[in-house]
Amino acid sequence: MRERSRPSAARASGAPAIVSLDLVCCAAAGRHLAVLVRSGGRASAMMLPWTALDPATAIDAAAARFAREQLGRAPVWIAQVGASGDGRRHPSGASLSVCYVAVLPAGTPAPDGMEWVAAPDLTGLASRQQAMVPAAVAALRDRMDIAPIAFRMLAPEFTLSELQQVYELLLGRRLHKASFRRALQGAYLVEPTDSWRSEGRGRPAQLFRYAPRKRRGVRRSVRFELLG
Amino acid sequence: MRERSRPSAARASGAPAIVSLDLVCCAAAGRHLAVLVRSGGRASAMMLPWTALDPATAIDAAAARFAREQLGRAPVWIAQVGASGDGRRHPSGASLSVCYVAVLPAGTPAPDGMEWVAAPDLTGLASRQQAMVPAAVAALRDRMDIAPIAFRMLAPEFTLSELQQVYELLLGRRLHKASFRRALQGAYLVEPTDSWRSEGRGRPAQLFRYAPRKRRGVRRSVRFELLG
DNA sequence: GACTTAAGTCGCAGAAAGATACTAATTGCG
DNA sequence: CGCAATTAGTATCTTTCTGCGACTTAAGTC
């Protein structure tokens, strides 16, 4: 089990780290989803931020605190992806790793010692961490229709085109503009502001903010389409 | 940290168990979802089946093997629910627990030392295990439209009314018969057999089997309804 | 002023989903 | 036997949802 540079928190007690807590921090960046990696000195030694899990602390709280420490600020959203532990390598040598996915607004600068890498370009991680990235992205995609993840990836005031781009990013496919806006309108999730933003060429876009209004619980119909 | 009767596998080595692997085994039982519990001698000392996680084994494989051991057969479906570790109590005293949800066909008899308890009646578990039950049910509900969970909860040949009852069980609401069948028909997931089953009162029902046919990938539209 | 680009809107055609009502086949009972 | 009760399965109508192309609006560019 090889070891290179590791975060100072790891194995501080001298006891071997049994369980690691790993973080996939995501932000929208143009057409890609960017992930924060710690580049340990050389470019080839990239790793996701991780720490040894303190058995005395609640794990969700530990993840939130670790994210705040690493980012210098609280993420706008965080959730557990899952636990993984098998033959694949982890920088810590931990036999078990619990992965969390955190979301930051687009344009957040990378903290010292870290950098944003587009998710598809992210290679060369230890194999267990490598597998966490698609799992974290899938977790985002799966939960974006029950939590306002896409909205949190934007500044508090945003254009509907920006929002649509985030949805297209996470879903991995293009959406139809009119249909997207109609669905959004019907959900009473945003309210217009008085501001407009002119960005280069075309007509200025109106700015909106996330302001969900209470609605009676809508129950979706049974979907067999993805089964099989 | 109190301890009562525990499975023999736990702490066999004498070292304290750091991570537990817990199992929520589910089966449809009438109008309720039933969960397998180990009733340790007295009725009050119920617990979910759990074991100490062996750091040397891949966790998914360990969960599958533990389920097979406990059930005397392989479950028809199993998936990880997540890791939980906080102040709440666990029978093992473990600081971290990884929960898996397993599915068995309706009517499966409880193994020795275990019994089926309807999920709503399941109280008196250690608090961390208590929280696993709704989380496991939610995991089933969330994944039933991407994995054939409902079909696996039935015998290989089943009636459409039985299938609908399972869906209603997992979704927690009534479905419309005609709409359910129309959607099922359109998904090409089942094929009729030549058998019919007469069960007491009304008209005999035709038996179907799960036989998904390949279809082009259907992409669902953006859903904002559950957001907010 | 004409062209380009992007934002935002309109309306239609087809698909999907809900409801009601209907037919069909069996058991229970007088 | 004949009829009510019960459950399975189907037909049809209506409403809603969704994909899509076409359109208008407002800016920059030449």
Write the pLDDT tens digit of every residue in B151-170: 999 999 999 999 999 999 99
- Give the residues across from B23 on adjacent strands: B100
Residues of B in contact with A186 (CB under 8 A): 224
CA distances to A38, A172, B58, B90 from A45, in Å: 8, 29, 25, 38
**How far apart (Å, rounded) are the C-alpha atoms in residues A73 and A146?**
24
Closest CA to B224 of A212, A162, A154, A152: A212
Q: Are B51 and B21 in contact (CB under 8 A)?
A: yes
**How far apart (Å, rounded) are the C-alpha atoms in residues B150 and B158?**
11
Average pLDDT, chain A: 89
Which is it for strands A96-103 and A19-29: parallel, antiparallel or unpaired? parallel
Q: In terms of DSSP H, where are the helices of B72-205?
A: 127-143, 149-152, 160-171, 177-187
The reply to whether residue B222 touches residue A87, judged by beta carbons under 8 angstroms, is: no
The reply to whether residue A226 touches residue B212, judged by beta carbons under 8 angstroms, is: no
pLDDT tens per residue, range B61-84: 999 999 999 999 999 999 999 999
Residue nearest to nucleotide C24 (CA to C1'): B203
Chain C footprint positions (protein CB, under 7 Å): 4-11, 16-21, 24-28
A99-CA/D14-C1' distance, Å: 49
How high is the pLDDT of residue B89? 87
pLDDT tens per residue, range A138-151: 999 999 999 999 99
Of the two residues A205 and B42, the one the predictor is more confident about is A205
Which residue in this structure is represented by tokens 């499975």?
B7
Q: Is residue A226's pLDDT more than 90? A: no
Q: Which string of DSSP letters, residue by residue, matches A166-216?
A: HHHHHHTS---HHHHHHHHHHHT-EEEEEEEE--SSS--EEEEEE------
Of the two residues B44 and A88, the one the predictor is more confident about is A88
Spatial CB neighbours of B15, under 8 Å, sequence gap ≥ 6: none
* A198: nt with nearest C1' to CA: D27
Q: Which helix (H) or strand (E) holds A27?
A: strand A19-29
**CATH code of domain A154-210:** 1.10.10.10
* Domain A19-143 of CATH type 3.30.429.10: no
| Mean pLDDT within B27-56 | 87
pLDDT tens per residue, range A117-145: 999 999 999 999 999 999 999 999 999 99
From the options 3.30.70.20, 3.40.50.150, 1.10.10.10, 3.30.9.10, give the CATH code of B156-210: 1.10.10.10
Location of each CATH 1.10.10.10 domain in chain B:
156-210
Of the two residues B77 and A8, the one the predictor is more confident about is B77
Q: What is the Cα Rg of chain B in Å? A: 20
Of the two residues B16 and B26, the one the predictor is more confident about is B26
Location of each CATH 3.90.79.10 domain in chain A:
19-143
Location of each CATH 1.10.10.10 domain in chain A:
154-210
**Percent of chain B having pLDDT more than 90?**
75
Q: Which of A19, A224, A226 lies nearest to residue B183, judging by beta carbons? A: A224
